Amino acid sequence: MRIFSGIQPTGRKHLGNYIGAIRQYVDGQDRGEAIYCVVDAHAITVAYEPDTLRSAVYDTAATLLAAGLDPGRCIFFRQSDVPEHTELCWLLSSVTSFGELNRMTQFKDKAGAQRDLVSAGLFMYPVLQAADVLVYRANEVPVGDDQRQHIELMRDVAVRFNARFGETLVVPEHRIPEVGARIMDLQVPENKMSTTGGTPQGTVLVLDEPKAVAKKIRSAVTDSGSDVRHAPDKPGISNLIEIYAVVRGVSFEEVEREFDGAGYGAFKGAVADAVVDYLAPVRERYTELRADEAGLEAAFSAGAEKAREIAVEVMHDVRQAMGVGPVRDRR
């Protein structure tokens, strides 16, 4: 059983990323052969600064290691160090439908948010994401709920490839958590918490100081009622219940029972304390790991070497199946 997921080095990662994705990455190490990468080649599809990108890659890597990824128990690397990802992306573009890419909601949202250039790379983003997963023949992709459409597309691409060129690629399944797959912005609980699209006050960063975490949670937007109840017409309170349930490892019903009659103020205070406790150890380990850039580079290059062992073989099979390049035996 092979697990693959990637995470963007755009800005600093937030509580939504942590609960929806990173938490699952850590678990994946016990469930199969886990492969994770920091997707710098995806990050260049929107406006960015080269120097900031490089340091954001280190920030994200140190965050993941601080959260519990262990390069001894998973393959952990930087996407651009394994050129097979971008090579497969191009080959897969010939079995990806333009119309399907044009319907991707993430593309529409992000294209709309760009000030000047809407890059072709942003349009191709889901094809590179398909290549990331398919180049390892991964069985499972842990992601948040917003990635459902992209995973469907990569499955279609794999199926179409196999139908056209013969059984070569594995059609992967998504793994979306039942609780916490879509943590909402604390100020605009109709929108998902986001690295690039959210409000600063509504986005709890994994590396925020405890005081800042508590302040953001205590000032979360809620409805005018007072019942701590998970319900469709209570997006703000429901979001806080979801966060508390994950962080404390309890069910919604248990949260509702615990705070029956307590009022929003007391509930928000308890959520704030719980999240502060949850993130504090990560933040401490991060500081130590982030200081050692040479150590992070060493981890990346060891990881890329292991990743390439798999990717090179799959690329060989893909080229042979497609009739690209000379006939060759596997190494």
| Interacting residues toward ligand ATP by CB under 6 A | 7-8, 10, 16-17, 19-21, 143-144, 146-147, 181-183, 192-197
Give bridge partners of residue 174 from the DSSP assignment: 141
Between 85 and 182, CB nearer to ligand ATP? 182
Q: Which residue has the tokens 């070497």?
A: 305
Between 20 and 235, CB nearer to ligand ATP? 20
CB of 143 to ligand ATP, least distance (A): 4
Between 8 and 222, CB nearer to ligand ATP? 8
Between 161 and 278, CB nearer to ligand ATP? 278
Q: How far apart are CA 106 and CA 27, in angstroms?
A: 27
CB of 219 to ligand ATP, least distance (A): 18
CB of 76 to ligand ATP, least distance (A): 15
109's tokens: 């949202």
Which of these, 244, 255, 185, 263, lies nearest to 220 by C-alpha position? 185
Between 45 and 320, CB nearer to ligand ATP? 45
Q: Which positions ≥6 away from 58 have C-beta within 8 Å?
A: 290, 293, 296
β pairing state of 33-38 and 2-7: parallel
Q: Which positions ≥6 away from 157 have C-beta within 8 Å?
A: 92, 95, 96, 127, 130, 134
Give bridge partners of residue 141 from the DSSP assignment: 174
Please check whether residue 136 is in contact with residue 311, taking contact to mean a CB–CB distance below 8 angstroms: yes
CB of 111 to ligand ATP, least distance (A): 13
CB of 268 to ligand ATP, least distance (A): 19
244's tokens: 């508390």
Between 110 and 234, CB nearer to ligand ATP? 110
CB of 313 to ligand ATP, least distance (A): 26
Please check whether residue 134 is in contact with residue 154, taking contact to mean a CB–CB distance below 8 angstroms: yes
Residue in the shown chain whose Cβ atom is closest to ligand ATP: 20
**How far is CA 23 from its chain centroid?**
10
